[in-house]
Homo-oligomer: A and B are copies of this chain.
């Protein structure tokens, strides 16, 4: 049993990523290899994230293990004035690994310093969410390949943790990245700086139109209402950076459209029936990818 923590996508080299994605491939599909484990996975979700939680739950149960769930924080007493350090030190006596979701950036790293069992970061506020990045990479590799890839990433590029991690991870591969957003939601300078430092081929745009025909993958993210003081301004922006069948007229036949879900209005449901729609497959890929990761930790 190895006792590594999974805290950020940045900790993975290209070789690490490829090993995990290859293993995920083994677990993908109905005839997948399902090595059994008796391990118990502790689920500590200090804020709700149903999709991520159900995906981890499915992964460990498909592997033959089971979960120990702290439950929702409001109906929990474990946190009554108790420090996170104490909580995880109690839980490590119950579980063979801990999946931690926490609203505070750095929570997973801090927790990992207090326990001997592996801690998997399932999102720490504005920080990291490495398993989301891995499932994004897996989905891209399955649909378009990770090298010789031209990807467009559109929507809220300023606050979107998912986007920053993915962009960073893609610098491990031969990828051209086009970022499309309103100026007010453009990539933060420090993220752009890191991409440039890594030698990534990157361009920023305020319109999808010119770049769409070149894309193998279009990754759409949600623009949150809360970012805009004015409802009308929100509506205008949301509509400009959403897509429908008409938007796709200039796309290649092979374009894959991804979205971390849940979507609200960014992708018209009419697109669901086209071969472009890859977002449900992307959500489903969370299971084999998390199986591969847990399998390597337990």
**What is A's interface to B at a CB cutoff of 8 Å?**
40, 42, 48-51, 53-55, 57-58, 61-62, 66, 68-72, 74-83, 85-86, 89-95, 261-264, 269, 280-281, 283-284, 286-287
Given contacts A68-B58, A90-B280, contact A262 B82 (CB under 8 A): yes
- Report Cα–Cα, A91/B262, bound state, in Å: 12
**Which residues of chain B are within 8 angstroms of A284 by Cβ–Cβ distance?**
90, 92-94
The 26 listed contacts between A and B (C-beta, < 8 Å) are A48-B71, A48-B75, A48-B76, A48-B77, A49-B77, A50-B71, A50-B76, A50-B78, A51-B78, A53-B71, A54-B68, A54-B69, A54-B94, A55-B94, A57-B94, A58-B68, A58-B95, A61-B68, A81-B262, A82-B261, A82-B264, A85-B269, A92-B284, A93-B280, A93-B284, A94-B284
A262 near B78 (CB under 8 angstroms)? yes
CB distance from A24 to the nearest CB of B (A): 14
Contacting residues, chain B, for A280 (C-beta < 8 A): 89-90, 93
Q: How far is the CA of A269 from the CA of B89 in the complex (A)?
A: 12
B51 touches A57 (CB 8 A): no
Q: How far is the CB of A160 from chain B (nearest CB, A)?
A: 16
Counting chain B CB atoms within 10 Å of each CB, the highest count among A78, A264, A269, A284 belongs to A78
Residues in chain B near residue A83, CB distance under 8 A: 269
Copies of this chain in its oligomeric complex? 3
Write out the residue numbers on chain B whose beta carbons fall within 8 Å of the beta carbon of A51: 77-78, 90
Closest 8 CB pairs of A and B: A93-B284, A72-B75, A50-B78, A82-B262, A58-B94, A48-B77, A50-B76, A90-B283
- Chain B residues, Cβ within 8 Å of A79: 50
Whether the pair B94, A287 counts as a contact (CB closer than 8 A) is yes
> How many angstroms between the C-alpha atoms of A89 and B70 in the bound complex?
27
Nearest B residue to A284 via CB reads: B93
In the bound complex, CA of A283 to CA of B269 (Å):
41
Cα-based distance from A25 to B77 in the complex (angstroms): 28
Which of A50, A263, A269, A283 has the most B CB atoms < 10 Å from its CB? A50
Which residue of chain B is the closest to A114 with respect to CB atoms? B272
Complexed CA–CA distance, A118 and B72 (Å)? 28
Q: Provide the residues of chain B in CB contact with A61, threshold 8 Å.
A: 40, 66, 68
Partner of A91, one of B48, B54, B80, B81: B54
* B-chain residues with CB within 8 Å of residue A93 when the two chains form the complex: 280-281, 283-284, 286-287
Are the CB atoms of A50 and B74 closer together than 8 Å?
Answer: no
Within the complex, what minimum Cβ distance (angstroms) separates A117 from chain B?
Answer: 12
Whether B81 contacts A264 by the Cβ 8 Å rule is yes
- 6 more contacts with CB within 8 A, not counting A77-B262, A90-B283, A92-B284, are A40-B62, A50-B79, A55-B94, A57-B69, A58-B68, A94-B287
